[in-house]
């Protein structure tokens, strides 16, 4: 009643590139659906991130044609019938317009990281704050129980530079107290900021006592789909 409904659907699309493509579609239907478009996330181990984004954009285009009527079933049928065409178009755009990739490279991107632990927490937090400030990145360093997440927004080049720093600098200490590099970090998501996402104005360190509090932080930033896809599985 207050958050809407979220669900994941897996479908196999046949005869694309002579093989079956497994698509994972995550739908978030807001409270006033179908008068409001759903949030859609597309993932596939057989497609590139760019192709998944193209499929998502095409699905949202189709969704606009079905506004005010239930549409999920129609969208699934559409993607089963047209995936091959979308992938072909995606490849054509990439080869014909190299300037597009440059534009994407320079756009505003978003990064979601999961850290396994922080032994020297105070020093680690100061280091992350300093990097974010120097690279003009905004977002959140989030603690909830044993879960540690870093959500960043900024220029793609700055995001890449941050990742290099995170992987190559001695940011923590090992069990014997010696300085060590971050070896237990995982990149949950790296993607271009979309129109429905709200930009963070600052970089803040925040602690949450419940998963619901953490979810609201993502929801406020228009990132409910991102949260549902990557955060709850960390608690299993």
With respect to residue 96, please indicate whether it lies within any of the assigned structural domains. no
Structural domain ending residue among the three candidates 29, 62, 91: 91
Distance CA 109, CA 137 (A): 10
User: Among 132-136, 137-141, 156-160, 196-200, which stretch is predicted with the lowest mean pLDDT?
Assistant: 196-200
Report the CATH number that the domain containing residue 78 is assigned in CATH.
3.10.110.10
With respect to residue 64, please indicate whether it lies within any of the assigned structural domains. yes
Q: How confident is the model at residue 14 (pLDDT cuts 50, 70, 90)?
A: confident
Distance CA 87, CA 16 (A): 9
Structural domain ending residue among the three candidates 64, 91, 118: 91
With respect to residue 52, please indicate whether it lies within any of the assigned structural domains. yes
The range of the structural domain enclosing residue 180 comes to: 108-234
pLDDT tens for each residue of 45-90: 788 777 888 898 899 999 999 999 999 999 999 998 988 888 877 6
Instruction: Please tell me the total count of domains within the chain.
Output: 2
Distance CA 218, CA 62 (A): 26
- The residue behind tokens 């299993």 is 236
Structural domain ending residue among the three candidates 91, 126, 150: 91
Report the CATH number that the domain containing residue 213 is assigned in CATH.
3.30.70.100
Q: What is the mean pLDDT of residues 153-161?
A: 89
Residues in the chain: 236
Q: What is the pLDDT of residue 37?
A: 87
Distance CA 63, CA 196 (A): 15
With respect to residue 171, please indicate whether it lies within any of the assigned structural domains. yes
Q: Are residues 214 and 113 in the same domain?
A: yes
Q: How is residue 203 written in tokens?
A: 């970089």
With respect to residue 164, please indicate whether it lies within any of the assigned structural domains. yes
Q: Are residues 223 and 116 in the same domain?
A: yes
**Beta strand 138-144 pairing with 108-115:** unpaired
For 202, other C-beta atoms within 10 Å of its C-beta total 9
Q: Confirm if 23 and 83 have CB atoms less than 8 A apart.
A: yes
Q: What is the pTM of this model?
A: 0.59
């Amino acid at each position: 009643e207050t958050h809407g409904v979220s669900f994941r659907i897996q479908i196999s699309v046949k005869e694309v590139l002579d093989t079956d493509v497994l698509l994972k579609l995550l739908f978030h239907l807001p409270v006033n659906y179908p008068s409001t478009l759903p949030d859609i996330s597309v993932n596939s181990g057989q497609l590139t991130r760019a192709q998944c984004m193209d499929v998502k954009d095409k699905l949202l285009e189709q969704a606009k044609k079905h506004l005010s009527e239930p549409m999920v079933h129609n969208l699934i049928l559409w993607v089963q019938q047209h995936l091959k065409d979308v992938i072909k178009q995606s490849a054509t755009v990439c080869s014909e317009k190299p300037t597009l990739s440059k534009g994407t490279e320079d756009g505003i991107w978003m990064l979601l990281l999961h850290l396994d632990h922080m032994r020297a927490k105070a020093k680690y937090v100061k280091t992350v704050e300093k990097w974010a400030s120097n690279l003009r990145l905004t977002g959140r360093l989030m603690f909830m129980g044993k879960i540690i997440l870093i959500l960043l927004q900024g220029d793609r080049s700055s995001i890449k530079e941050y990742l290099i720093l995170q992987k190559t600098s001695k940011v923590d200490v090992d069990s014997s107290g010696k300085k060590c590099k971050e070896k237990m970090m995982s990149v949950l998501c790296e993607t271009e900021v979309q129109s429905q996402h709200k930009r963070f104005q600052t970089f803040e360190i925040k602690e949450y006592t419940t998963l619901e509090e953490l979810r609201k932080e993502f929801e406020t930033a228009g990132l409910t789909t991102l949260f549902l896809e990557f955060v709850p599985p960390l608690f299993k």
